[in-house]
Amino acid sequence: MVLKTKMTKSYDFELGEPIYVEQLNMICNVEKEMGSGTQGKVYSLISPDNSLLALKWYFPSMATREQLEILKSLVDKQSPSDKFLWPIALVESDKKEGFGYVMPLKENRFKSFGLWLSRKIDPSFKVLLTACYEICKSFHLLHSKGFCYQDLSLNNLYFDPCTGEIRIGDTDNIIINGSEKGNVIGTPKFMAPEIITHKALPNTQTDLYSLAVLLFYILFVNHPLEGKAESNIKSLDVPAMTKLYGLNPVFIFDPVDSSNHPDPVYHKNALIFWKIYPEFFKNLFIKAFTEGIRDPLHGRVRETEWQIALLQLRDSIYYCNKCGSENFFYPINVEVSRLRNINKNITNYDNSVSTVLQSMLHLKENDYYLTCWNPRCQNTSHKVMYIIIDERYFITLNHDTRIFLHHVDPCNRYDFSHVIAAVTKHPVDDEVWGLKNTSSRIWKVEKPNSKAFEVLPNQNLLLSPNITIDFGTSKGIIYY
């Protein structure tokens, strides 16, 4: 009797198999296979210094000379940030067909966004907005270095459901913008219309479109082009998809064209979440999927615009005092004031932010969004304390609110590494809240009909309306 023996393909690795990584001057061992995709397989590695590393090895058909040149270029360049699982070393072996590369291994705490879309995990709005902000910030850094990602989709992004921290995978497809290299053109449903219709190759402008689709998916749990036009299709084959996503793309909330509005039977998520977010935020998506489709070069929403909007939205979260659901608090007079200030200092922002301002000016001052969105609650008895800092930032004051250097120092925008103030509760009376000075500066505080006084570092200030706080680099006024 002849026993059949299992033949290992020349590009497969066995568990425990040693791999010499010349550029890191170390020998690693294969721990396990983590997954297989269209380009190759990914293995976790055991390294001598216990650093978390992974190996991606290409299938022979994908191990092209062009891909090798892309990898060499990426390895030679520094990663834009630690969010990218960037190639750090090339790997070749006489015993294996093709080549691969070593990259950082994402920790187990990072999960696929697909788990959120399938509702297998339930992250908070704060976490989702933080993740979206981190994504936009990361791609702004990538694009500012002259790179194009090419294949942005939910398949290559991961987030921590507890914090919103992110990791970005599949970085081996990144190319220099305009170089017309690479083995990919994108993922279906995320590709820009001009790629689908063969009018363009992947570039930073098509990345911006994919980014908008990604953000909409995460925050509205629906594709921005999948409305009635999609649900009426009997067979979603290639010609139908080409028409829906490429030849005739219509936003499901297009304010002029209602032909593709959400179908209440199939698109409940989109209808529910569209009601939750404030107008200024939804207007960015309207722009992204109307002007951004008609005019790819000038009409798309920039990463910095998303960053500004996402942070403002995150700062506006308050908790329903009945059911505890996260809601967004928007006194319109504050929003108009903030946007007027942005418009005055437009050199510090993208010009298109002024479009948001113009869309807000027709709204009446002192209008509020104060009904809990939760259909099981609908509570309207809310009073929300908040602080306005130099008419630039509007921040609700919740039990877990933190004010960062980003909020008080114009020279350190986007610095969230330093907490300068934190809301605290009285140890005995939960109804009494304070603001703790966690900075190294002395605050100067003014109250109506009272003498000015100082709040030293590590001291608490009793929160009450109409207090003015001089943080040193800016001033904030508390309202209730």
Q: Which residues pair with residue 437 across a beta bridge?
A: 421
Angle at 108 between CA 102 and CA 114, to 5 degrees: 100
Tell which residue, 413, 388, 386, has the closest CA to residue 475.
388
Domain 111-315 coded CATH 1.10.510.10:
yes
Q: Which residues pair with residue 99 across a beta bridge?
A: 92
- Give me the pLDDT at residue 357, please: 38
* Rounded distance between C-alpha atoms, residue 208 and residue 390, angstroms: 31
CA 224 to chain centre: 16
**CA-derived radius of gyration, the chain:** 25
Tell which residue, 132, 130, 110, has the closest CA to residue 121.
110
Given a cut of 70, the residues of the chain with pLDDT beneath it are 1-9, 182, 331-369
DSSP state letter for 73: H
pTM of the model: 0.89
Q: Assign a CATH topology to domain 18-104.
A: Phosphorylase Kinase; domain 1 (3.30.200)
Cite the DSSP H helix spans in 77-155: 113-117, 125-144
| H and E: helices and strands count for the chain | 14, 23
* Rounded distance between C-alpha atoms, residue 247 and residue 109, angstroms: 40
Indicate if 111-315 has the same CATH topology as 18-104. Answer: no
* Rounded distance between C-alpha atoms, residue 222 and residue 118, angstroms: 11
- Taken in order 7, 12, 15, 19, the sign of the CA dihedral is positive
How many Cα atoms occupy the beta-carbon half-sphere of 35 within 13 Å?
9
- Give me the pLDDT at residue 332, please: 54
SS3 477: strand
Domains of the chain, by residue range, sit at: 18-104, 111-315, 386-479
Where b means 16+ CB within 10 Å and e means fewer, 104-128 reads bbbeeebbbbeebeeeebebebbbb
Is residue 143 a contact partner of residue 206, using CB atoms and an 8 Å limit?
A: no
- Give me the pLDDT at residue 335, please: 52
- Give me the pLDDT at residue 3, please: 41
* Rounded distance between C-alpha atoms, residue 282 and residue 344, angstroms: 23
- Give me the pLDDT at residue 331, please: 64
* Rounded distance between C-alpha atoms, residue 130 and residue 33, angstroms: 31
For residue 91, the one-letter residue type is: V
- Taken in order 122, 128, 131, 135, the sign of the CA dihedral is positive
Where b means 16+ CB within 10 Å and e means fewer, 138-155 reads bbbbbbeeebbbbbbbbe
